[in-house]
A and B are shown apart, each in its own frame.
Chain A
């Protein structure tokens, strides 16, 4: 697999060089090595093999556009900060932007990204799963093309647990049983005060059939379902089934904790799978996966989806090329490539049927199941503020006082939505 990939890359690069020199020979004016009129600047998080995708698109475009991949910081906050600062200054140097699914509403409301219309829109929506599409819309309009999605799964030790627990209550009971029997029993969970905790909370709220924000995104709701989610979190925090570091753990800490072998369960994104294969192959053989546990018996969970969307900057001077380039980078073929090489789940349903996915993605059916019945974080310009105030009230989870915390949430969330008040 690997050497062949390298060969392809070398060949495409050679083609690109040849193409460039041909262009130079035919139009002597367009030979400046610096950014040309057809340069499309992509700003995207570091993704190991994205450069190959970019090279493939550049070769395919036959010189119409030339994508340059500019890497953003690794952490989501850092990515958002860099883009936001430059967009606020109306920087024309950015064309295609890689947005975390929670940022679409904010960027659209601030008028930083262009609406997708006409044929571009059709192309972006064709065959794309409804959940990821919902994260790319704001006010009924499409503002981005979903590049990859993500859905959390329950990873469990099949040597300790017969069948995956269907609800949180079952999972906690199983863990306590293992604890009594002196076996590994932790439920590894990212409980630090950050976006990842909000993802868990949102999943629980949606699974309980509740709401945090009204459908139009203007009012704080925090209904009975949300209170139920708070109760589940508190129970979990107090059941003595987590590692002591749970309240400070982010997703990668959770992955490492599970790999160390003291945990029986892990709630995390699929990136843990290839990592486990590499770091702890012995353990990986014993690990199975399932959809996240639900809240109500008999009702499957609605896992909050993550992932990245591609948007076109309002200040781009060549939007047509930018839309075209964005569509190329997320077409079915390239999504398949990224899924296999970088582990990011595709947004186009047909890609999952491809047999090439089987080897690297044994859990693709489970992922697809979760994706077809997803939980979506509220799409609002204030998404960042919303998540900040909520996680501040959620952490540490053992200290939640359901009715009281819900009451506080109503005021704080309303303030965040109105961009009033102070963010913690």
Chain B
């Protein structure tokens, strides 16, 4: 009891000091917070507002409030679900393959004894090339007659004209582009693994695979989660590769391509905004799942998630 009484005034003094500090903190970050609200908050709110309206720029007189009707229209539409599953497929497959390849690349780069800087730089080249430019070279490579890949692997057929072929090429292009990024993030994680720990494990008789699974992976967990989270969010928004390679033909549109088509090409602000809001919700859900279910390993998170 005595201890509590003694502690009280102390706690109060700290809280008063903290209050002033907190006020100052708020004041200092207020400009940044205001800018954030202006540039990200407002467009999102405006999109939500538009999604409750029938608003087609081609028929400006017929603008009206329709509540959730647009959501019903989109969520009961075959094109939307086709695009949604295409997006999920591209996301899951490409991130899974990128993770495996990226891990391999990271291990190689981490262990490289000669020319480490050169190896790292060279492997980053695909990530440095503008996606649209790379996508064009992929398209030409897979076009019969002019393309070396098409001539090599698919003579007398055009893989970009059927759905499975197109999706495979889109996924391939995504993997080629972002594996280096994945490798870079994972390499940062590898640097966290203390050599002593690995030596100790080796002394205890753990083989290379056991050391990798039982020592390296757990220590790297935060880095792995960050890498997967970033890439999943990124892959879910896939747009440029699809536009260049197939422009959404043969039902290869992703949700972003569909939203773009309805919003910019079709000028249907109501339906298009509804799609953007749905994409936003999906992205928020992915982030939430990663951060909450897999442990708080997000950048800036504390160590609660560590084993």
- Which residue of the partner chain A has the closest CB to B267? A84
Total B residues in contact with A, Cβ cutoff 8 Å: 35
Q: Provide the bound-state CA to CA distance between A245 and B261, in Å.
A: 25
- Interfacial chain B residues near A192, Cβ < 8 Å: 249
B144 located at the interface, meaning its Cβ lies under 8 Å from any Cβ of chain A in the complex: yes
Q: Provide the bound-state CA to CA distance between A111 and B58, in Å.
A: 8
A423 touches B58 (CB 8 A): no
Interface range on chain A: under 10, 10 to 19, 20 to 34, or 35 or more?
20 to 34
- Interfacial chain A residues near B157, Cβ < 8 Å: 244
A247 located at the interface, meaning its Cβ lies under 8 Å from any Cβ of chain B in the complex: yes
Which stretch in A50-58, A118-126, A329-337, A378-386 binds the other chain? Answer: A378-386
| Number of cross-chain contacts by CB at 8 Å | 89
- Interfacial chain B residues near A140, Cβ < 8 Å: none
**Contact of A248 (CB < 8 Å), options: B160, B265, B268:** B160
- Interfacial chain B residues near A77, Cβ < 8 Å: 265
B137 located at the interface, meaning its Cβ lies under 8 Å from any Cβ of chain A in the complex: no
B161 touches A84 (CB 8 A): no
B247 touches A385 (CB 8 A): no
Q: Provide the bound-state CA to CA distance between A245 and B57, in Å.
A: 36
- Interfacial chain B residues near A424, Cβ < 8 Å: 79, 248, 251, 253, 258, 261
**Contact of A381 (CB < 8 Å), options: B58, B79, B247:** B58
One digit per residue, 1 when the CB lies within 8 angstroms of any chain B CB and 0 when it does not, for chain A 410-424 equals 000000000111111
B59 touches A419 (CB 8 A): yes
Q: Provide the bound-state CA to CA distance between A106 and B59, in Å.
A: 9
A110 located at the interface, meaning its Cβ lies under 8 Å from any Cβ of chain B in the complex: yes
B56 touches A419 (CB 8 A): yes
A381 touches B161 (CB 8 A): no
Most B Cβ at <10 Å: residue of A84, A246, A381, A421: A421
B59 touches A193 (CB 8 A): no
- Which residue of the partner chain A has the closest CB to B156? A244
A194 located at the interface, meaning its Cβ lies under 8 Å from any Cβ of chain B in the complex: yes
For the complex formed, measure the closest distance between the CB of A270 and the CB atoms of chain B, giving whole angstroms: 24
- Which residue of the partner chain A has the closest CB to B270? A419
Q: List B residues 153-181 near A (Cβ within 8 Å).
A: 156-158, 160-162
A422 touches B58 (CB 8 A): no
Q: Provide the bound-state CA to CA distance between A246 and B62, in Å.
A: 41
A277 located at the interface, meaning its Cβ lies under 8 Å from any Cβ of chain B in the complex: no
Assuming A260-B145, A422-B77, A424-B253, is B262 touching A245 (CB within 8 A)? no
- Interfacial chain A residues near B266, Cβ < 8 Å: 384-385, 388, 423
B60 located at the interface, meaning its Cβ lies under 8 Å from any Cβ of chain A in the complex: yes
For the complex formed, measure the closest distance between the CB of B53 and the CB atoms of chain A, giving whole angstroms: 13
A167 located at the interface, meaning its Cβ lies under 8 Å from any Cβ of chain B in the complex: no
- Interfacial chain B residues near A247, Cβ < 8 Å: 158, 161
- Interfacial chain A residues near B62, Cβ < 8 Å: 419
B261 touches A388 (CB 8 A): yes
Q: Provide the bound-state CA to CA distance between A257 and B261, in Å.
A: 29
- Which residue of the partner chain A has the closest CB to B80? A422
B74 located at the interface, meaning its Cβ lies under 8 Å from any Cβ of chain A in the complex: yes
Q: List A residues 127-155 near B (Cβ within 8 Å).
A: none
Q: Provide the bound-state CA to CA distance between A201 and B101, in Å.
A: 46
- Which residue of the partner chain A has the closest CB to B271? A422
B253 touches A106 (CB 8 A): no
Most B Cβ at <10 Å: residue of A248, A382, A385, A419: A248
Assuming A110-B59, A244-B157, is B79 touching A422 (CB within 8 A)? yes
B264 touches A81 (CB 8 A): yes
**Contact of A422 (CB < 8 Å), options: B56, B73, B251:** B73
- Interfacial chain A residues near B158, Cβ < 8 Å: 244-248
A395 touches B80 (CB 8 A): no
B143 located at the interface, meaning its Cβ lies under 8 Å from any Cβ of chain A in the complex: yes
**Contact of B58 (CB < 8 Å), options: A246, A382, A396:** A382
A88 located at the interface, meaning its Cβ lies under 8 Å from any Cβ of chain B in the complex: yes
Q: Provide the bound-state CA to CA distance between A105 and B247, in Å.
A: 25
B58 touches A106 (CB 8 A): yes
Q: Provide the bound-state CA to CA distance between A385 and B158, in Å.
A: 27
Assuming A193-B250, A396-B250, A423-B268, is B79 touching A110 (CB within 8 A)? no
A405 located at the interface, meaning its Cβ lies under 8 Å from any Cβ of chain B in the complex: no
- Interfacial chain A residues near B248, Cβ < 8 Å: 193, 424
Q: Provide the bound-state CA to CA distance between A247 and B143, in Å.
A: 11
Assuming A84-B267, A422-B73, is B60 touching A111 (CB within 8 A)? yes
A109 touches B143 (CB 8 A): no
Assuming A245-B145, A421-B77, A422-B73, is B258 touching A110 (CB within 8 A)? no
Assuming A385-B266, A395-B250, is B143 touching A110 (CB within 8 A)? no
Q: List A residues 241-270 near B (Cβ within 8 Å).
A: 243-248, 257, 260
Q: List B residues 67-95 near A (Cβ within 8 Å).
A: 73-74, 77, 79-80
For the complex formed, measure the closest distance between the CB of B35 and the CB atoms of chain A, giving whole angstroms: 23
- Interfacial chain B residues near A111, Cβ < 8 Å: 60
Q: Provide the bound-state CA to CA distance between A110 and B161, in Å.
A: 36
- Interfacial chain B residues near A84, Cβ < 8 Å: 57, 267
Could you give 23 example pairs across A and B, Cβ below 8 Å? Answer: A77-B265, A106-B58, A109-B58, A109-B59, A110-B58, A193-B247, A194-B247, A244-B144, A244-B157, A245-B161, A246-B161, A248-B160, A381-B59, A382-B58, A396-B162, A419-B58, A422-B79, A423-B79, A423-B266, A423-B271, A424-B79, A424-B253, A424-B258
- A residues contacting B by CB (< 8 A) are 77, 81, 84, 88, 106, 109-111, 192-194, 243-248, 257, 260, 381-382, 384-385, 388, 395-396, 419-424
Known: A260-B145, A421-B77. 12 other contacts (CB 8 A): A81-B265, A244-B157, A247-B158, A248-B161, A385-B266, A396-B161, A419-B56, A422-B73, A423-B258, A423-B261, A424-B248, A424-B253
- B residues contacting A by CB (< 8 A) are 56-60, 62, 73-74, 77, 79-80, 143-145, 156-158, 160-162, 247-251, 253, 258, 261-262, 264-268, 271
Per CB-CB distance, the 5 closest pairs between chain A and chain B, nearest first, are A247-B161, A193-B249, A422-B77, A419-B56, A423-B266
